Every structure is written in structure tokens, then in C-alpha cells.
């Protein structure tokens, strides 16, 4: 088991939803967390204030990780602040759902850039630092939609499936180092995104889930903690946390 006290983690999209739960869980384990946000400044600062008031170390950095230079700035800020990076959680993501017939190239590009190209941007920038860690962890938050597909989600499904392929390939390349690379594929998690779905549709989704409920963001965070603490021999894998919806 790896002691997480004093490790440094970057969580992209770390201010809200699943990202907030991951940030909080890591901080409570003594990890120094860098909360990346793009537009959620108020939420990010509120989370920093809350964690600091509880005795944790947290710092917020604005960056659009779909842009290479901003992702590099994020990594530089983390190293400047804490001197190292041990954990990267690639969680930033958006949806722009349309049936393919109505899907614009702009909506295709934006979803691919934020959800998938951001992995290249953050990882290429952090690699020189994280490979120096005694227990480096790269964890990519993919989705059940990348495994099963989703109506009106060709862009999102392609990006999330691409994250899995990225994970497996990078895991092979880094297997001789102390860095593991894994993906977590959440099912339907009770976040703001799911809350916006009409109630009738929510009921239909729950009816299809063997566990008969949505997941909680904290359950995804527990998967992250497992990979960070106990995952030294786990790499290139997909951890499916979906209530049995996709097996």
C-alpha cells in the first residue's frame, strides 16, 4: 500500500461533480491537490477554501486543458507550487449531444479536444515529472458510453473510447517505470449532468441498471483511491463502476 500523505495530485475538471469528489477524497488522504478548472472559478475557489479550512492543502489553477500551452502552464504551476507531481486525474470533459445527422464539425471537434486531446496535452507536459515519482499514477476518467455507445453521442463515445486505447498504450510504454496508467469507466452517476435529464428518462435509465440506482460521485473517488494506494500492479485496465449496467 502506498502512503498518499504528501503526494501531489492534479485533478482536471476538479471543482464540480465527479472531479470534486475525487479532489476531496485525495485531499482527505493528505494529498496536496491542484484543482484545475476552465470556467468554474467560483466552485473551484469555494472547494479550495473548504479543504484548507479542514487542514488540507489545495490550490486552484485555471486552464483549458484542450489547449496545449494552457495544459503546460497547469503542470508548471503545480510544480512551482508543490515541487513535484505524483498523480494526474484526467477528468475534464464535456458533452454536446446531437444525432450524427445534426452533429456539426464544431461540436465534434470541441468534444474530442476537451475529452481526448487533453490527455495528450496534460500527459506530455507532466511526463518528465511523474516518472520521477516513486508511485506515479495517471488515471483517465472515461465512461460507460465509450464502451457501449450512446444515442446521439458519437462524438462523446469516440472520445471516451479513445481514452481507453490511450490508457492501454501508455500503460505498455510506462510499465518499466513506477507509473501506472488506468481508466475508470463510470456508469450513470448522480451529478448535475444527470440531474438535468427529464425525470421520466431518469426512471427509464434506472430501470435498466441492475443495482437500480445511479452511482454516487464518491464511489468513483473510491476507485481512484484504490488505484492510487493499492494499484502498483494494476496498469492498462478499465475499472468499471456502473452498477452492472455494462459487463
Q: Which residues are catalytic?
A: 156
- Give CA–CA dist 35/57, Å, rounded: 11
From CA 246, how far away is CA 185, in angstroms rounded? Answer: 10
Q: Are the C-beta atoms of 91 and 19 separated by less than 8 Å?
A: yes
Sheet containing strand 238-241, strands side by side: 58-62, 32-37, 8-11, 87-90, 137-141, 180-186, 238-241
Amino acid at each position: 500500500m502506498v502512503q498518499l500523505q504528501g503526494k501531489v495530485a492534479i485533478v482536471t475538471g476538479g471543482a464540480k461533480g465527479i472531479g470534486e469528489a475525487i479532489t476531496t477524497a485525495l485531499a482527505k488522504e493528505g494529498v496536496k491537490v491542484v484543482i484545475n478548472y476552465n470556467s468554474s472559478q467560483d466552485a473551484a475557489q469555494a472547494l479550495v477554501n473548504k479543504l484548507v479550512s479542514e487542514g488540507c492543502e489545495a490550490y486552484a489553477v485555471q486552464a483549458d486543458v484542450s489547449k496545449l500551452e494552457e495544459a503546460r502552464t497547469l503542470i508548471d504551476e503545480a510544480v512551482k507550487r508543490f515541487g513535484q507531481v505524483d498523480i494526474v486525474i484526467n477528468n475534464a470533459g464535456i458533452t454536446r449531444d446531437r444525432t450524427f445527422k445534426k452533429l456539426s464539425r464544431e461540436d465534434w471537434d470541441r468534444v474530442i479536444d476537451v475529452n481526448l486531446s487533453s490527455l495528450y496535452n496534460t500527459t506530455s507536459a507532466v511526463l518528465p515529472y511523474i516518472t520521477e515519482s516513486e508511485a506515479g499514477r495517471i488515471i483517465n476518467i472515461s465512461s460507460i458510453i465509450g464502451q457501449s455507445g450512446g444515442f446521439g453521442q458519437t462524438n462523446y463515445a469516440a472520445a471516451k473510447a479513445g481514452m481507453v486505447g490511450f490508457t492501454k498504450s501508455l500503460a505498455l510504454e510506462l510499465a518499466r517505470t513506477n507509473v501506472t496508467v488506468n481508466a475508470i469507466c463510470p456508469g450513470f452517476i448522480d451529478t448535475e449532468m444527470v440531474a438535468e435529464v427529464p425525470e421520466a428518462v431518469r426512471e427509464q435509465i434506472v430501470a435498466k441498471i441492475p443495482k437500480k440506482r445511479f452511482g454516487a460521485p464518491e464511489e468513483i473517488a473510491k476507485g481512484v483511491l484504490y488505484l492510487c494506494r493499492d494499484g502498483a500492479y494494476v496498469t492498462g485496465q478499465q475499472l468499471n463502476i456502473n452498477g452492472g449496467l455494462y459487463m
